[in-house]
Amino acid sequence: MRRRPRQATLLALLAALFCATLVAPPAASAAVGLRVSGTNITEANGTNFIFRGVSHAHVWYQDRLATSLAGIKSLGANSVRVVLSGGRWTPANNAADVANVVAQCKANKLICVLENHDTTGYGEQGGAVTLDAAVNYWLSVQSALTGQEDYVVVNIGNEPIGNNAVTPGWAQATSSAITRLRTAGFQHLLMVDAPNWGQDWSFTMRDNARTVFNADPQRNTVFSIHMYGVFDTASEINAYLDAFRTAQLPLVIGEFGHNHSDGNPDEDTIMAQAQTRGIGYIGWSWSGNSSDVGYLDMTNNFNASSLTSWGERIFNGANGIKSTSREATIFGGGGTDTTPPSIPSTPSVANITSTGATLTWSISTDTGGSGLAGYNVYRRQGTADTLIGQSTTNTITLTGLTPNTSYQVLVRARDGAGNLSGNSPVTTFTTTSGGGTDTTPPSTPGTPAASNVTTTSATLTWAASTDTGGSGLAGYNVYREGGALLGQSTTNSITLTGLTAGLVYRVYVRARDGAGNLSANSPTVTFTTTGGGTTGCTATATAQSQWGNGYVMQVVVTNNGTTTMSGWTVTATLPSGHTITGSWNANLTTGSGTLTARNVSYNGTVAAGQTASFGFQGGRPDNSTTLPSAFTCTAL
């Protein structure tokens, strides 16, 4: 986070938001000490370690180190993130001071995450330094860190790029920093922060994480996302965490708060999902924030016996540090986890072919302390359950199955201690008859025609598709615009039921064949169910930040009707010479001086009186002060 001591000025945090491509990396050299194992962090003995800690602003309060770390430990934390500087703030933290920090962390049985704050906001904030300069600092204190790999994580640079484009970009600069540290002999677990002041609303870290991870010859780098105003809804938080889980890359929530100037982060979801998924979190911050963000202090004047409301929440609240933290085993902690994870739900089956099928189930939770490690998938044959696959996520694609064969399958969750949950309910499916591998999708269905529209239903009919791939036409999937599946049919007609009265529906069809191939989308048909209450929405835009040739805007969409709206479209006037350089939580298009934003799949449904939000970053001619205007909203 961009913070300064109370004597300094806090820069307003710019907001905005948010899967990596799975590429098999080459073999990595063995890591030393704390290390990455799949999506988990483990100690040298293989025990999962899940960060439950807070940040301490050591560079500005160097006389508070001993009492702060003791207080943090007393409230149950297993880790602390310590703010250091190589000279942007003085006095700089030299090798002797860093050695003392590490000694104090070990004395208090805290895993020590050391971060260089000098990079904060590079490209946007005066005085910020590059990641290359941050590496120079780490090299200057290397003598204090060598041999401490079991206890220390090197967080290369805090929030290393602001919202402006820089050269080299985040991926290249981060990869280079990792390579330099490894070449210099650093064996530590490395932690790298996202750009966009740590919040990655441009998805730069998310989309380039695999490349950066592969740049580490030890494959021992964990990614750190900072969650403030960009992450103010459960859907945004889950979508970001899902992306790293799908990519099978390690992630920690390296900073977050309960409030911020750029929005109201959803700390309840952040903490609950971190616990459910076995992801580490580190809250900002122990004490000493400047007055404009003093609400982020967890204690009053560094006093562990005087917690603020934020301190009470993160230490003692639901999914808080006290109830979920487990001391690192290297300090003699960890205990023995004998509590199994919760039971997964009944697996659903999709994309059945002659030799494969995709299974999906609800995510299990683990409260024993070792963290959820993944799932085992079994085939049931009589009284025997045979393991046929494992996954670290709540989905798996089974391969190598036998054509035209019935399969009964179930799932069991497993935790870091090896405990297995009970069996999920069994699901049954039959593979197709085979005849080769069909990779040819059916032809595109015709435009659907809507008829017999009522308050809760409508009948759709379309021109039939054909299939030439060999597996045969199996049926059709009917979707609402945005990707929500409304129904399936084996013929070229369907009667949709359970619709909402008085709503606009935009619907399209995709054909599917016996191998699971899907056709392209048909043209869309639009119809409105009858009856229902009133609909309507408004769009309120706020300039979050402005500079000479750019700006960031946040738009809040409010449902002013009496019924739930299932989608929305916002239009605005885009001044001449303006361009959109990034956006989040909406699909944006521009043309003829108009900006159009449409909801994405997870924020289109808005109950009466509730809100959704999106944002974007714009560029404009030098010295211009104009902004997009005349925002209007249409409810769907």
Is 312 marked active-site?
Answer: no
CA distances from 81 to 77, 112, 266, 494, 634 (A): 11, 6, 21, 57, 46
- pLDDT value at residue 9: 32
In whole angstroms, what is the distance from residue 422 CA to residue 410 CA? 10
Amino acid at 398: L
Give the mean pLDDT of the chain. Answer: 88
Q: Side by side, which strands form the sheet with 357-360?
A: 348-350, 357-360, 395-398
In whole angstroms, what is the distance from residue 388 CA to residue 485 CA? 29
Confidence band (pLDDT; 50, 70, 90) for 4?
very low
User: What length does the chain have?
Assistant: 636
Instruction: Give the SS3 label for residue 537.
Output: strand
Higher pLDDT, 435 or 180: 180
- Reported as a single tens digit per residue, the pLDDT across 480-496 is 876 777 888 889 999 98
Span 36-331: which CATH code? 3.20.20.80
Q: Of 95, 12, 79, 89, which is closest to residue 58 (Cα–Cα)? A: 89
In whole angstroms, what is the distance from residue 226 CA to residue 241 CA? 12
- Reported as a single tens digit per residue, the pLDDT across 402-413 is 888 999 999 999
In CATH terms, is domain 537-635 a member of 2.40.50.140? no
Instruction: Give the SS3 label for residue 477.
Output: strand
In whole angstroms, what is the distance from residue 34 CA to residue 24 CA? 22
Sequence spans of domains, the chain: 36-331, 348-431, 449-529, 537-635
pLDDT at residue 23 greater than cutoff 70 = no
Is 43 marked active-site?
Answer: no
Span 348-431: which CATH code? 2.60.40.10
Q: Could you tell me which residues come within 8 angstroms of residue 6 by beta carbon, excluding any fewer than 6 positions away? A: 288, 289, 290, 291
- pLDDT value at residue 100: 96
Tokens found for residue 250:
């390690």
pLDDT at residue 22 greater than cutoff 50 = no
Establish how many alpha carbons lie within 13 A of residue 316's alpha carbon, considering only the half-sphere containing its beta carbon. 13
CA 404 to chain centre: 39
The residue whose two tokens read 């009133």 is: 534
pLDDT at residue 617 greater than cutoff 70 = yes
Q: Could you tell me which residues come within 8 angstroms of residue 469 by beta carbon, excluding any fewer than 6 positions away? A: 438, 439, 440, 441, 442, 513, 515, 517
Q: Name the active-site residue from 124, 149, 159, 267.
A: 159
Q: Could you tell me which residues come within 8 angstroms of residue 310 by beta carbon, excluding any fewer than 6 positions away? A: 257, 258, 259, 283, 295, 296, 297, 298
217 backbone φψ class: left, alpha, beta (φ>0; ψ -120 to 50): alpha
In whole angstroms, what is the distance from residue 239 CA to residue 260 CA? 21
Summarize the confidence of residues 537-562 as an average pLDDT: 86
Strands 189-193 and 221-227: parallel
- pLDDT value at residue 27: 41
In CATH terms, is domain 449-529 a member of 3.30.200.20? no
- pLDDT value at residue 7: 32
In whole angstroms, what is the distance from residue 302 CA to residue 77 CA? 15
- pLDDT value at residue 20: 34
Summarize the confidence of residues 56-72 as an average pLDDT: 96
CA distances from 129 to 159, 545, 547 (A): 11, 22, 20
Summarize the confidence of residues 23-34 as an average pLDDT: 55
Q: Could you tell me which residues come within 8 angstroms of residue 404 by beta carbon, excluding any fewer than 6 positions away? A: 354, 430, 431, 432, 433, 434
Summarize the confidence of residues 364-392 as an average pLDDT: 83
Q: Name the active-site residue from 115, 124, 255, 481.
A: 255
Cβ–Cβ under 8 Å, residues 478 and 494: yes
Amino acid at 583: S
Summarize the confidence of residues 294-318 as an average pLDDT: 95
Cβ–Cβ under 8 Å, residues 386 and 341: no
Confidence band (pLDDT; 50, 70, 90) for 448?
very high
- Reported as a single tens digit per residue, the pLDDT across 249-282 is 999 999 999 998 888 899 999 999 998 888 999 9
Helix (H) or strand (E) holding 137: helix 131-140
Q: Is the dihedral of CA 63, 65, 67, 72 positive or negative?
A: positive
Q: Could you tell me which residues come within 8 angstroms of residue 147 by beta carbon, excluding any fewer than 6 positions away? A: none
The region of weakest confidence among 263-272, 285-294, 451-460, 558-567 is: 558-567
Instruction: Give the SS3 label for residue 397.
Output: strand
CA distances from 310 to 58, 66, 144, 283, 452 (A): 20, 22, 33, 10, 55
Higher pLDDT, 416 or 234: 234
Neighbours of 463 (CB within 10 A): 14
Tokens found for residue 636:
């769907």
Q: Could you tell me which residues come within 8 angstroms of residue 494 by beta carbon, excluding any fewer than 6 positions away? A: 459, 460, 476, 478, 487, 488
pLDDT at residue 608 greater than cutoff 90 = no
Amino acid at 620: R
The residue whose two tokens read 């997964």 is: 344
- Predicted TM-score (pTM) of this structure: 0.59
**b or e along 539-553 (b: 16 or more beta carbons within 10 Å of the residue's beta carbon)?**
bebeebbeeeebbbb
Q: Could you tell me which residues come within 8 angstroms of residue 305 by beta carbon, excluding any fewer than 6 positions away? A: none
- pLDDT value at residue 1: 60
Q: Could you tell me which residues come within 8 angstroms of residue 302 by beta carbon, excluding any fewer than 6 positions away? A: 61, 64, 67, 68, 71, 286, 287, 288
- In percent, the amount of the chain with pLDDT more than 90 equals 59
Q: Of 220, 162, 152, 122, which is closest to residue 13 (Cα–Cα)? A: 162
Confidence band (pLDDT; 50, 70, 90) for 82?
very high
pLDDT at residue 5 greater than cutoff 50 = no
- pLDDT value at residue 19: 34
- Reported as a single tens digit per residue, the pLDDT across 333-361 is 755 677 889 999 999 999 888 888 999 99
Please tell me if the domain spanning 348-431 has the same topology as the one spanning 537-635.
Answer: yes
pLDDT at residue 6 greater than cutoff 60 = no
